[in-house]
Structure 1
Amino acid sequence: MNRSFTRIFLGGILIFLIIQVIQPVRNIDYGQVPSSDISKVYKVPENIQSILRTSCYDCHSNSTDYPVYGYIQPFSFFLENHIKEGKKELNFNVWGLYSKRKRSHKLDAVENQIMQRKMPLPSYLYLHQGAKLSDEKIKEIVDWVESVRTENL
């Protein structure tokens, strides 16, 4: 029985090491801000841009700041899927490619999600405490969204 356990354990370690070779494509833009980024479409004050980068961009842009565990399988697969889903829902780097109607809808969604504290996701906040939005930051974003609506309607 002890020999069986040892073989299973060593087999598990071998499989774990082998899957480390399989790495997904990373969501990294190397510091390039595309011309379609939200900051190129609207006037985004520095405080709002800072909040977006800290609390939103890892999952909702083409630039993710990967944590150490993001390079270890199977965590990496989970993380990449999460990012892919987040970008499918909203990508701040392609904001300029959205229609006016879609931009308006996305602004409403951003405002609603943060006011209801649905974003950032609790699972993200668990490991990224600095991304948590205080009441003050939520108010700043809501006020900015309202100003964007006023200026662009």
Structure 2
Amino acid sequence: MSILIKRILFIFFLIFLIIQVIQPVRNIDYGQVSSSDLSKVYKVPKNVESILKTSCYDCHSNSTEYPVYAYIQPLSFFLENHIKEGKKELNFSEWGLYSKRKQSNKLEAVENQIKQGKMPFSSYLYLHHDAKLSDEKIKEVVNWIESTRAESKK
């Protein structure tokens, strides 16, 4: 290998090491469930709450359980951006801050997304197999959403 190629590789390696020092702020609530969390606004059965926490909360709440690879740059930047975008679209931790109309629309959107298999993302499922929604889990969540939406219209 020529000296020029070795120097270029060495520079790339140094840059890679240096960017490891730069870590974004983590999306961690340290076990605190906010008063505006979905589970505080609606009566959520334990099985549905467990499904949502396993399959949705990492990207759609103020509490993410980070895998080991999340501390390696540039993957960390990608993950934090993905979480930020997910929370902007839907944040279960801030559910109570949404208007009743927005809550109803978000529930309908969640129902449609999981029925169509659009959520969770397949890229997420690749490394988080436990987040995959079986037909039974989808049915449990959909049934809860439908009953909750019907109840809130009364």
TM-score bracket, shorter-length normalisation: over 0.9
Q: Secondary structure of the equivalent of 1:119?
A: coil
Kindly indicate whether residue 84 of structure 2 is the aligned counterpart of residue 84 of structure 1: yes
Q: Secondary structure of the equivalent of 2:58?
A: helix
**Which consecutive aligned stretches of 4+ in structure 1 deviate over 4 angstroms post-superposition?**
none
Alpha-carbon separation, structure 1, partners of 2:149 and 2:5: 63
- For residues 44-98 of structure 1, what are the alpha-carbon distances to aligned partners after superposition, in whole Å with 9 as ceiling and x for unaligned? 0000010000000000000000010100000000000000000000000000000
Count of residues in Structure 1 that have an aligned counterpart in Structure 2: 153
1:62 alignment partner in structure 2:
62
Return the TM-score normalized by structure 1. 0.99
Per mean C-alpha deviation after superposition, the further-off stretch among 113-122 and 2-11 is 2-11
Structure 2 letter corresponding to 1:24: P
Alpha-carbon separation, structure 2, partners of 1:106 and 1:150: 14
Q: 1:26-105 maps to which residues of 2 (within 5 A)? A: 26-105=26-105
Structure 2 letter corresponding to 1:6: K
Kindly indicate whether residue 13 of structure 2 is the aligned counterpart of residue 16 of structure 1: no
Q: Quote the sequence identity (%).
A: 76
- For residues 21-66 of structure 1, what are the alpha-carbon distances to aligned partners after superposition, in whole Å with 9 as ceiling and x for unaligned? 1100000000000000000000000000100000000000000000
Q: Secondary structure of the equivalent of 1:60?
A: coil
2:118 alignment partner in structure 1:
118
Ranges in structure 2 where 5+ consecutive residues have no aligned partner: none
Alpha-carbon separation, structure 1, partners of 2:126 and 2:34: 30
Alpha-carbon separation, structure 2, partners of 1:150 and 1:22: 47
Give the Å deviation of 1:149. 1.1
Give the Å deviation of 1:122. 0.7
Kindly indicate whether residue 149 of structure 2 is the aligned counterpart of residue 149 of structure 1: yes
RMSD over equivalenced CA pairs, Å: 0.7
Alpha-carbon separation, structure 1, partners of 2:149 and 2:4: 66
